A and B are shown apart, each in its own frame.
Chain A
């Protein structure tokens, strides 16, 4: 059994990878049923698309751990250090504020969507908006983690 530490550390990748496997298998199942039984399984396409939201929003949080979200530092790297610091603080506030806003939205959408079923599987649409909520909440966690680690490194 993987340790709790491992699960906490790689939580987003674990969820996103599981979702990715579901996505691949359901698309393949869709093709298979179309050719073998001539009666394509309509739920397969829907499951694949729902799974994709889990891959993307959990994965996007994992990207923060490795600084994989591209940005353009051409201008800020040439600023004097005090100005660069002020800009960095502003950027942190913007990104974190946006994530928080998305979490709040995600929660509202997830609750509202509970009575709103998907077209084939009749699952509540919460399965689509849930990963948005979780994903952006985790992004806040990973972003702050990164900030703490970076400031420790700068202090040491």
Chain B
């Protein structure tokens, strides 16, 4: 029974509003005190070990790339391209939101940052043009989910580290699911805009010359994900190195190709990067210490053994995990849940013969959607606070989007081919 005390303590501390990283770290420390024989030095070593990980260095790099993008005017160019592509559709601004998120997904890695950007630009514009603010909040926060799946994505990097899975494979695995979510959101948007009379921005399709022109203008930015994937595929660099090189590349593009980035932008870019990175990393540090406890007490194998008595069907297991995650995701912040649950679930699912790349895509998709499920969700908070929407009205408007995304989640869960075809094709099975 004593084996479970740290795990129970963790949930108690969560409930008491202790910062999540500290709740995890304190629970992990309690394990060393309860056991009394394992040297406490291991606790500190585990806390520091996450920062000694070369793969996790990719986190600050990709956070920084997003921050530079915004300052360098790259986002604005992608917006022009989105306008040329879908500006003539009903509900044009909302459709642009999804298209922009899909294009941006290949450049930025953090869904929360994208939700903020989408809400501040397209969201505000939507409310000015007669869209309901709650609808604007719903589509801006939902579209931000795509970012997590189109490479690069921070969730995938963290999962890759914790589950010991190739980040390159995960990156490619997210592409098709990301595009599916994007298609689902556009369909829902279309139906809604028809019903409510949300107007197109232009009378007819912009025409290929304008699409080509805006595409050429954005080519420096759009080529980034292609460059990263090719580099990983041919083993030219690791994901971490790709991150560092892309930081330099975006700075050069901002300075010399687009000429909008200024030295004066850098204090803010650096501050944003450092803060976002360390909030996530402190969680991972604490989770590493907690992971030592889990492994020592052999809790994941115990859980696997217990689950086998419930079901020996991997599909049913995936369904159970998904339902559990959706319920958990309503209350717990996605990144925190990802960090805590990956070391618990991965040994279990691999025992059931589920591909860890496939599972990673399912897990990250599910927990990113958690960011818009009320009452707790990072992207929901951001969009609602930017657009001054009450959570109650948001909850109603986001429902059709949520249902569509859960539909895609089901599809990704039960058709592993969707997540595995691309990585297996590029890297070999």
Contact = CB atoms under 8 A, between A and B. Distances in A.
A49 B51 contact: yes
Nearest to B51: A53
Contacts of B277: 20, 55-56, 59
Range for the number of chain B residues in contact with chain A = 35 or more
A79 to B, nearest CB: 10
Interface in A102-133: 102, 105-106, 109, 128-129, 132
B237 A31 contact: yes
Given A16-B274, A68-B275, A87-B17, A60 B281 contact: yes
A69 B240 CA distance: 25
Interface of B, helix, strand, loop or mixed by DSSP: helix
B14 to A, nearest CB: 5
Interface residues of A, number: 50
Contact of B40 (A17, A105, A128): A105
B406 interface: no
B22 A27 contact: no
Interface string B9-29: 000011111111111011001
Given A63-B279, A98-B26, A105-B40, A17 B274 contact: yes
B17 A71 contact: yes
A83 to B, nearest CB: 11
Contacts of A128: 48, 52
Contact of B376 (A74, A76, A90): A74
A148 interface: no
Interface string B79-113: 00000000000000000000000000000000000
Nearest to B333: A70
B241 interface: yes
Contacts of A101: 29
B51 A56 contact: yes
A76 B48 contact: no
Interface string B230-259: 000000010011011101100000000000
B271 interface: yes
7 contacts: A49-B53, A57-B278, A60-B278, A71-B18, A95-B18, A95-B22, A132-B48
Given A28-B245, A52-B60, 4 more contacts: A27-B241, A59-B278, A59-B281, A75-B15
